Amino acid sequence: MSMSSSSASARPVVRMKPKANARAIRHGFPWAYDNELVTDRRTKSLVPGTLAVLEDDKRQPLGVVATNSQSKIFCRMLDRDPEAQIDQAWFEAKFARALSMRDRVFDTPFYRLIHAEADGLPGVVVDRFGDTAVVQPNAAWADTLLEPLVAALVAVTGVTNVLKNGSGRARVLEGLEEHSAVMAGAAPDVPVPVVMNGATYMADLTGGQKTGLFYDQRPNHGFAAGLCKDAKVLDVFSHVGGFSLAALAGGASHATAVDGSAAALELALAGAAAAGVAARFDTRKGDAFEVLTALGDEGAKFDVVICDPPAFAPSKPALEKGLRAYERVARLAAPLVAEGGYLGLCSCSHAADLARFRGASVRGIGRAGRHAQLIHTGFAGPDHPLMPQLAESGYLKSLFFRL
């Protein structure tokens, strides 16, 4: 390991400008942006992932930070103690703290173990699938220290397989290359069955999206399932059958999953077969907007319609366009809901806050000529904790309307 990552005294110093908000960092905000720092030739030449001591403009240390000169988020706070050693023991303490909460909340070893900043490991996501864990090191420092991180993960959780998933938009923003690898044990050669809300999901840990399964919607799947007894259900942007398989477990008479990915729908079918509900399930491959339009033209009606699209507003510049897309989803989906039925609309865009997303959804329902009651607002489960100082950590919103 290099001196900069292991030896506290040898760390470079990065200083905040006099007008920068050091108080926010003292009160728990985890980032310092490039325009808040005194950036001279020395700081600009720091290798991405280098650990440094962040000081305020009066040279008072604020803590150990991971730096990345390639990113707008120049510093990510790792430890408030400027002398902290960022080694395997440090990682073990983080994992143990995260694990104790998951063990208390969940009775199965299937959950998000590390939710980045909110679990004290900035830019790092770890999803657990029984004895296999998938790590997404979306920040340069975690790529650099991946070996002690993985050793600590194995020591604390006892997982036998650790996979690195090095794909995705976050790594591009950090200037990191896409690279996936097996870090410990072996990659499962078949999809892993994951039971949630009574449904069985097939997680493809190597070829699937992100880490293979989205755990964040678990409580919303559960709420939706409660609306679905004896219901005819449409699940749009279904991925591997998130809402539709939960609906069938909740007693739906029939469910249709719509997605653009043939591979995701194959996994959904496999999940339905594993749970013994394949006879009440079918899939429709295609562009969601086109399928919604076609179903409207066909005069199709469902008791429950749920739309869980990808992030239409992944960043602030994409916000207005994203909100229009959410409005369009609502406008096309609302006519498919039978009188007195239910419409679930979801957003995983952190740039679109709850009020803006709700506004767009209500506009779309209104433009479809429907009247709605909002009966439930859902968020991600407790394995996706929120860092109160960081609005971005609360990205998921689910709205359930009765039409």
pLDDT mean values, one per 10 residues, the chain (403 residues): 52 94 93 93 92 96 95 95 97 98 96 96 96 95 96 98 88 84 94 94 83 91 98 97 97 97 95 97 97 97 97 88 97 98 95 94 98 97 91 85 98
Q: What is the CATH number of domain 88-184?
A: 3.30.750.80
**CA gap 264, 270 in Å, rounded:** 10
Q: Which regions of the chain carry the CATH code 2.30.130.10?
A: 3-79
pLDDT (0 to 100) of residue 201: 96
**CA gap 96, 113 in Å, rounded:** 10
Q: Where are the beta strands (DSSP E) in 210-289?
A: 232-236, 254-259, 281-285
In terms of Cα–Cα distance, which of 345, 350, 346, 288 is closest to 314? 350
Which amino acid, residue 312?
F
Written as six digits, the tokens of 71 are 């990113």
Chain-centroid distance, C-alpha 306: 19
**CA gap 166, 337 in Å, rounded:** 40
pLDDT (0 to 100) of residue 2: 41
pLDDT (0 to 100) of residue 208: 67
**CA gap 254, 261 in Å, rounded:** 21
Q: Which regions of the chain carry the CATH code 3.30.750.80?
A: 88-184
In terms of Cα–Cα distance, which of 192, 248, 258 is closest to 225? 248
Give the DSSP H or E segment for 252.
Answer: none
pLDDT (0 to 100) of residue 351: 87
pLDDT (0 to 100) of residue 250: 97
Evaluate whether 234 touches 302 at the Cβ level (below 8 Å).
yes
| Burial class, 169, CB count within 10 angstroms (exposed 0-12 / middle 13-18 / buried 19+) | exposed
Phi, psi for 270 (deg, rounded to 5): -65, -40
CATH superfamily of the 3-79 domain: PUA domain (2.30.130.10)
**CA gap 314, 54 in Å, rounded:** 29
Q: Name the architecture of domain 192-402.
A: 3-Layer(aba) Sandwich (3.40)
Q: Which regions of the chain carry the CATH code 3.40.50.150?
A: 192-402
pLDDT (0 to 100) of residue 1: 37
Evaluate whether 215 touches 127 at the Cβ level (below 8 Å).
yes
Written as six digits, the tokens of 171 are 């790594």
